[in-house]
Chain A
Amino acid sequence: MAEDKINPKCKVVIVGGSAGSLNALMQILPELYVLNAFALVIVLHRRGTDDMTLEELIKIKTEVPVKIIEDKEPLVPGFLYVAPSNYHLLFEKGETMSLDTSEKVNYSRPSIDVSFESAAEIYGDSLVAILLSGSNADGTEGLKTIQNAGGIIIVQDPQSADMPFMPNNAIRHTTPDFILNTDEILKFIISVNS
């Protein structure tokens, strides 16, 4: 891996995923113990009402402290945040997050594109984005924006993804800095940490 591309000032790692991405996360999260200098934000497509179960599920799978996102929640390094269902998750100046119930984007709310684009505006080159498994085109536009703003973009290796459509779509339309399987994604996150 090209370790030199790892951003030393990374403040936020944002992960987007749809169908099959929970599986990938369940392989990564149990191996993650502390986040030193950055916050981890997870934006997944999910059905309207299973809010708590996803957060609970993630909570029991990792040692990293998980925060439930409410409107204007401060984004603090060391914590893991999960985008709530039925809201778009946006980033504000001054390290807080806000929520928005506007129309679905790519049939999704939260939409990965919306969160990625918003994070790119605030965090620019201190952002790392990871796009996981899924069967929808969400995320690709957001990755482009993040790369243009100087952030690092990583796509799950379609071969290791339960649903390769989303990673493939991103690979076709962007030039990811890395294409990694779940093991390598874990290693990458750990290396951002050190």
Chain B
Amino acid sequence: MIEDIELETLINDIYEYYGFDFGSYSRASLKRRVNRIYQLEGFKNFYEFLSKVRYDPEYYKNMIDEITVNVTEMFRDPAFYKAVRNEILPQLAPKPFIRLWHAGCSSGEEVYSMAIMLKEAGLLHKSIIYATDINSKVLETAKKGIFPLRMMKEYSENYRDSGGQEDFSKYYIANYGIAKFNEELAEKMVFSQHNLVSDNSFNEFDFILCRNVLIYFDNDLQKRVINLFDESLSILGFLALGTKETIKYSISTTKYKQLEKEKIWRKIK
């Protein structure tokens, strides 16, 4: 196990050499991730690891991709998607344009889930979905819309539990262990790198989703990010977080009204 002081040295070095600030990431998870790659590579000592990070930008880039937790699913938490389908989309439907932002979209499973629901609600043609992450590797996967075929059974069950009525398999083509999702779904998606720690608001949105990303941030960074979302959200727009995340430590809750039970808030002023 690496020492706390070693982790802090690494955080400082990464900031100094590459400008990326892990200083506000939750330490427990970060330490597990760093420890994992440190042991994977069989470094002689921590110093050797540090110099590799400092002087090998390729290694550093790879390391960032390894440190971030990218686990995701299609229609993860079906009850959440059901609420989006039944309660949020109908409220967005009258708009001439619908702008969505998935912040921390990982490999895109969530984004394709959303596109499927928008399509079924007849709204995809007038939507635009921005999907961002800091991890360049997962964004590449997301752009391709290719996911492991072995996951499709679970995803189609999730889809059905979320209120989906169609035959889920019509949305992808199965081929040698992969499922390639229809390109039509991706037409309205824009993927790009965006860092929630340091980048600013880049548009105004009607619906922002940032699920299971804030859990990796400490309270101060959560505050920053929630404020960034607040700036980027139109009045009466919606903000969705993961099932165990909350805005209550970050922003005055009089500005937001929570949808019963789900982690979805509406900006009311």
Using a CB–CB distance below 8 Å, which chain A residues touch chain B? 69-72, 84, 87, 90-93, 98-103, 114, 118, 121-122
Contact indicator B244/A87 (Cβ below 8 Å): yes
The listed residue (A71, A91, A101) touching B69 by CB distance below 8 A is A101
* Residues on the A chain within 8 Å of B27, using CB: 92-93
Q: Is B12 an interface residue (CB 8 A)?
A: no
Closest beta carbon of chain A to B138's beta carbon, Å: 14
Q: In whole angstroms, how far apart are the Cα atoms of A72 and B250 in the complex? A: 12
* Residues on the A chain within 8 Å of B29, using CB: 90, 98, 100, 102
Q: Is B40 an interface residue (CB 8 A)?
A: no
Closest beta carbon of chain A to B64's beta carbon, Å: 15
* Residues on the A chain within 8 Å of B1, using CB: 121
Closest beta carbon of chain B to A41's beta carbon, Å: 14
Contact indicator B215/A69 (Cβ below 8 Å): no
Closest B residue to A70 using CB positions: B244
**11 A–B contacts, CB within 8 A, in A order:** A70-B245, A71-B215, A71-B245, A92-B28, A98-B28, A99-B215, A100-B32, A100-B69, A102-B29, A102-B69, A102-B71
Closest beta carbon of chain B to A60's beta carbon, Å: 20
Q: In whole angstroms, how far apart are the Cα atoms of A105 and B162 in the complex? A: 27
Name the prevailing secondary structure of the B interface residues.
Answer: loop
Q: In whole angstroms, how far apart are the Cα atoms of A101 and B33 in the complex? A: 12
Q: Is B219 an interface residue (CB 8 A)?
A: yes
Number of B residues near A (Cβ < 8 Å) is: 22
* Residues on the A chain within 8 Å of B242, using CB: 71, 101
Q: In whole angstroms, how far apart are the Cα atoms of A90 and B214 in the complex? A: 14
Most chain A beta-carbon contacts within 10 A, residue among B29, B214, B245, B246: B29
The listed residue (B26, B32, B218, B246) touching A70 by CB distance below 8 A is B246
Closest beta carbon of chain A to B237's beta carbon, Å: 23
Closest B residue to A91 using CB positions: B28
Contact indicator B32/A102 (Cβ below 8 Å): yes
Q: In whole angstroms, how far apart are the Cα atoms of A122 and B69 in the complex? A: 22
Closest beta carbon of chain B to A139's beta carbon, Å: 17
* Residues on the A chain within 8 Å of B33, using CB: 102
Chain B 227-256 interface mask (CB, 8 Å, partner A; 1/0): 000000000000000111110010000000
* Residues on the B chain within 8 Å of A114, using CB: 32
Contact indicator B219/A101 (Cβ below 8 Å): no
Closest beta carbon of chain B to A33's beta carbon, Å: 28
Q: In whole angstroms, how far apart are the Cα atoms of A87 and B215 in the complex? A: 10
Q: In whole angstroms, how far apart are the Cα atoms of A70 and B244 in the complex? A: 5
Closest B residue to A102 using CB positions: B69
